[in-house]
Amino acid sequence: MGHMQVNLRARKVIFGLVAAVVVAVGVSVFWVGHDADPSAADTGDPAGVVSFSFDDGQVGHFDNARPALEAAGMRGTFYIISDALSSGKKTMNAEQVKQLAAQGHEIGNHTRDHATLTTLSADEVRAEFADAQAAIKAKTGITPTTCAYPSGAQDQSVQTAAATFFRGCRGTVGGSNARGGVDTYNLRMYYIHSSTTADDIRKVADEAKRTKRWLILAYHGVGPVGSDDDVSADTFAAHVRAVQQTGVAVDTVAGGLAKMVGLTDGS
């Protein structure tokens, strides 16, 4: 009798140990899977990337930035305010936006009216994105897959709303994006000022290439220089040449996301 009880106790101990091992293995498998997917996915493309992004749908992007990019075989990302989509004078009209897309450029969402999203309710933030998506789709046939927050204003609630519409969004926090650590809904960027020289651009583009990081350049005016956020057409062309000279890969923001995070159609 005493022998049987010892045996039973031993079996219970063994069962307990086996159960603990099963749980431990399960947990470690979960964490391995969690780490590997999706932000650290190996896309087999470990090179650095530079993206040219343009805010507010200004007509200078079409008149000046587009030809300089296309002459270099590059494509950019153009963030459109949907309420400003019809004028064609200061801002691009639907035909110009369609032409950009037809040439392989990316069209992104910069909200309906450039509201400061952190001052709005969650419903109002969703409406800013949704209304712009609908208007851009209706006027151009394009459904943007990335956004840029007006003036970079975002918080967790804004990011949560953005995540229901987009694969990623650009903020205005300075820096570049590291493979495996991409802050998908607050992509870091390099802000362009009137004073930004071709040498400045060469330096940061070269660094992206060397460190295999993703650098997103954020432009406003390209053409007439009316504020510290604008560059002349000549300066922009010099920036493009500087990036080209480094030999770093150039892609749109959506393309950069695909390369650095591994998000593609259907994910």
Please write down the HEC assignment for all residues of the chain. Answer: CHHHHHHHHHHHHHHHHHHHHHHHHHHHHHHHHHHHCCCCCCCCCCCCEEEEEEECCEHHHHHHHHHHHHHCCCCCEEEECHHHCCCCCCECCHHHHHHHHHCCCEEEECCCCCCCHHHCCHHHHHHHHHHHHHHHHHHHCCCCCEEECHHHCCCHHHHHHHHCCCCEEEEEEECCECCCCCCCCCEEEEECCCCCCHHHHHHHHHHHHHHCCEEEEEECCECCCCCCCCECHHHHHHHHHHHHHHCCEECCHHHHHHHHCCCCCCC
Cβ proximity to Zn ion: between 48 and 150 the closer is: 150
Cβ proximity to Zn ion: between 12 and 90 the closer is: 90
Output the CA torsion 149→155→161→164 (10° steps): 80
Q: Minimum distance from CB of 150 to Zn ion (Å)?
A: 5
Q: Are 157 and 194 in contact (CB under 8 A)?
A: no
Cβ proximity to Zn ion: between 96 and 172 the closer is: 172
Q: Minimum distance from CB of 204 to Zn ion (Å)?
A: 21
Q: Minimum distance from CB of 76 to Zn ion (Å)?
A: 15
Residue nearest Zn ion, Cβ-based: 55
Cβ proximity to Zn ion: between 56 and 128 the closer is: 56
Using CB under 5 A, list all residues that contact Zn ion. 55-56, 150
Cβ proximity to Zn ion: between 55 and 206 the closer is: 55
Cβ proximity to Zn ion: between 120 and 205 the closer is: 120
Q: Minimum distance from CB of 236 to Zn ion (Å)?
A: 17
Cβ proximity to Zn ion: between 56 and 251 the closer is: 56
Q: Are 113 and 80 in contact (CB under 8 A)?
A: no
Q: Minimum distance from CB of 89 to Zn ion (Å)?
A: 18
Q: Minimum distance from CB of 149 to Zn ion (Å)?
A: 8
Task: Give strand pairing partners of 53.
Answer: 77, 218
Q: Minimum distance from CB of 220 to Zn ion (Å)?
A: 7
